[in-house]
Amino acid sequence: MGPLVVGEEVRAALGAGRAVVALESTLIAHGLPFPDNLEVGRAAEAAVRAEGAVPATVAVLDGVVTVGVDGAALERIARGGFVKAGQADLAPAVASRCNAATTVSATAFAAARAGIAVFATGGIGGVHRGEAGDVSSDLTTLAREPITVVSAGAKAILDLPRTLEMLETLGVLVLGFGTDELPAFYTRSSGLRLEHRVDDAAGAAAVIRARRALGDRGGVLVANPIPVEDALDRELVDRAIAAALDGAARAGVRGKALTPFLLAAIARETGARSLAANRALVLHDCRVAGRIAVALAAE
């Protein structure tokens, strides 16, 4: 067995030219408590299937990067003990034979190696707020890999104007899905205008095909706003983020620990309403990604 394997169902689907959607495992391992995380992981896969595509949840299992884990492995991830792995962490995880949940960058990298064209997630990483402005490897990985990522924009805890500017600098095509603005994760609007928009899966697939035909191998970000009925009040979100950032600064939290710390703090500040919104937007992204994958497979 090599360092990367593709699950049997996913391998068969790819071989038959069927639609496949990659899913990350960090949300399951680090984003929600058990058993809520397992329920969301299963619901995400079900949402992809409901649109006619095959889900491929990615994780490192005992040192093997696995694209398309089975139900038993999904529960293992949900029960804990999995470290968080970005793309750069995959080789050490393989060498040490550890268990790791994949972030956006690691999932995009592994999915592209397997030949998967579409990936659904809640929100990508980006440029963090503050003078340091740490930049997530999600952005550089997306710039390099031939994959389309469907998300509700970038996580709201980030510096969204600088994140959008970085995406443009890196040559990542950002498509608003039924919107002219970059979504702000928990809310539908950020005030940041996008240059390109599509209104359905067929339109997104047409743009992705044109990009391929031009020989552009970089990634595409489909910015898919949270459904209206699930969006949070912008003032509530802003207050929660400010309190979370203040708490992180006082606690000296940085690096990989920062995002889960902030998301947990925001959940406390919003009375868990952010968790419900997060679940809703993830499932919405899975449905849209499934439709786009099906449209691409029909070419």
Q: Are 257 and 244 in contact (CB under 8 A)?
A: no
Residue 84 annotated to the active site:
no
Domain tally for the chain?
1
Q: Given this model, what pLDDT does residue 131 score?
A: 61
For residue 82, the domain's CATH number is 3.40.1790.10
Q: Based on the number of CB atoms within 10 Å of its own CB, is 228 exposed (0-12), middle (13-18) or buried (19 or more)? A: exposed
Number of C-beta neighbours around residue 64 at 10 A:
16
Number of C-beta neighbours around residue 19 at 10 A:
24
Looking at every residue in the chain, the average pLDDT score rounds to 94
Exactly one of 8, 24, 75, 131 is catalytic; which is it?
24
pLDDT one-digit tens code per residue, 106-148: 999 999 999 999 999 999 999 988 766 689 999 999 999 999 9
pLDDT one-digit tens code per residue, 196-230: 999 999 999 999 999 999 999 999 999 999 999 99
Exactly one of 45, 84, 155, 269 is catalytic; which is it?
155
φ, ψ of residue 34 to 5 degrees: the values are -75, 140
- Closest Cα to residue 196, out of 230, 225, 223, 215? 223
Q: Given this model, what pLDDT does residue 133 score?
A: 63
Nearby residues of 131 by Cβ (< 8 Å), 6 or more positions away? none
pTM of the model: 0.95
- Mean pLDDT for 265-273 is 90
Q: Which domain holds residue 247?
A: 4-297
Residue 24 annotated to the active site:
yes
Distance from the Cα of residue 268 to its chain's centroid: 23
- Mean pLDDT for 36-65 is 97
- Closest Cα to residue 127, out of 103, 157, 147? 157
